[in-house]
Amino acid sequence: MEHTEEDTLPLHRPAASGWSPFAPDGPPPGEDRTPASGAPGHPLPPAAPPTAPVAAFPDQPGALERVGVTADDFSSRRVVPPRSPVAETGLRGALHRLSLGLVALPPSAREQAYLQAIETVRRNFGGLRQVTIVNPKGGAGKTVAVLMLAMTFGRHRGGYVLAWDNNETQGTLGMRAQQDFHIRTVRDLLRDLDHFKGPTGRVGDLSQYVRAQGGAMFDVLASDESATAGEMLTARAFGDLREAVSRFYKLIVVDTGNNVRAQNWQAAIDATDQLVVTMSARNDSAETAARMLDHLEQTGRRDLVRNAVSVVSMPAHRKDVDLPAVQRHFAARTRAVLLAPYEKLLDSGEPIRYDSLSKASSGAWLRIGSAVAEGL
C-alpha cells in the first residue's frame, strides 16, 4: 500500500470538547461539509438524531472520575483463590496418582470431613487457650485424653502445646508420656519460678522442666510422682505457674486430680476456656462425671458445662455396657458427645508410643480435637 504525505501528518485534536478521532464519521464541530441547498444531484439528507457526547481522552484532566478507594482495595489483588481440592486417599487418590495427575477427582465425603477437622484444629484461637480435662473418678481416661489431645493439636498446629499435670498430689501424666533427659516436675518449676517472671526467662531454659514429646510436637509438665510429696498446690501456685508458661505456649491442656474441692482443681476450672469430660462407658464412671457436672452448675459454671465436650472411652468388650443411656444423658447436658475406640496400646499403662497408634484411634481423636477447637 502506497503511503502519501497525508499519512505522515500529525493528528491534531480540536480544542472543542466532545469530539474524538474515534467518533462516528462526521466533521468536527464548526466545520460544515453539507452540500449547498439545491445543488444539482445533491438533495438534502434527512436530519440525523442527536448523538451522545463521546468520552474525553483518558489523558485529559477530569477524564477519570475519582472514587473512594483504600490501600486494602489495592492489596486485595494479591489474594489467590484456593485451588479445588483433589482426592489424596482411597480409590480416588489412587487414580490420581496412577494417572500422574491427569485424573483429578474431588475428595470423598470421608476425606472432606477429615480435611475439615484438620482445618478446625489449625484455626487461629486469637490468644492463649486452656483445655481442662475432668472427672473425679480414677481410671476415667483423663491422662490418656490429655496426651492424645496434646498430640493432635501439636502435630497439626506445629507445636506450642503444653500438657500439664495439675494433680493435687501424685499424678501419672509423666509416667504415660515419653521420657526426657531429666525427671524434674512442676514443683521444681515452682521453686525456680522467679527466673521466668522477668525478661531473663527463655523457652530454652524452660526445657529443663518440661519433657519434650518428639514427633508428637508438644511438651509435658509432670506433677510430683512421689507419694510422699509435700503440701498440695494452692490456687495461687496454679496461677503463678500458668502465668509463667503462658509466655511460651499457645494452648495448655490441663490434667486434673480427683478432688474437686482442692484449690488447684478449682483454680484450673476458673481459667478454663474449654471443658472436656472424660469417662469410661461403665455406669460408675459416667455417674461420677454427672455428679461433677451438678457441682459445676451449682457453683455458677453452667455455661462451662453447656459448652463442654464429653468423651466416652470404649472398653475392650461391650458386655453389660449401657452406652445409649450414657450418650443420651451427656448429650442433654453438654455440647457434644464423642466416642474414643478401644486401643490396647493406650490401655497398657505404659508410655504411649504415638507413632504406633492405630488409624482408628488417630482419626477418632482428630474428631474429638476438632470438637474441642470449635469451643476455643
Structural contact between residues 221 and 210, judged by C-beta atoms closer than 8 angstroms: yes
All three cell numbers of 371, joined, read 470438637
pLDDT given for residue 120 in this prediction? 96
Dist. CA 235–CA 261, nearest whole Å? 11
Core vs surface per residue 68-82: b (16+ CB within 10 A) or e: eeeeeeeeeeeeeee
* Those residues with Cβ within 8 angstroms of residue 347's Cβ, 6 or more apart along the chain or in another chain: 316
The domain locations on the chain are 86-121, 125-374
What single-letter amino acid sits at 140?
A
> For the chain, which ranges sit under pLDDT 50?
8-9, 13-14, 16, 38
Task: Please return the burial class of 173, using the count of CB atoms within 10 Å of its CB with bins 0-12, 13-18 and 19+.
Answer: buried
The residue among 73, 74, 96 whose CA lies nearest residue 85 is 96
Instruction: Spell out the residues 6+ positions from residue 19 whose beta carbon is closer than 8 angstroms to its own.
Output: 13, 28, 29, 54
Residue whose C-alpha cell reads 442527536 in the numeric block: 50
Judge whether 160 and 203 are in contact, CB under 8 Å: no
Best CATH choice for the domain 125-374 from the list 3.40.50.261, 2.30.110.10, 3.40.50.300, 3.90.1010.10: 3.40.50.300
Residue 9 is predicted with a pLDDT of: 47
**pLDDT score, position 62:** 56
In sign, the C-alpha dihedral spanning 345, 347, 353, 355 is positive
For residue 231, how many C-alpha atoms fall within 13 Å in the half-sphere facing its CB? 7
In this prediction, residue 155 carries a pLDDT of 95
Q: Which residue has the cell 484456593?
A: 82
Angle at 12 between CA 10 and CA 14, to 5 degrees: 175
Distance CA 367, CA 121 (A): 9
Burial of 189 (0-12, 13-18, 19+ CB in 10 A): buried
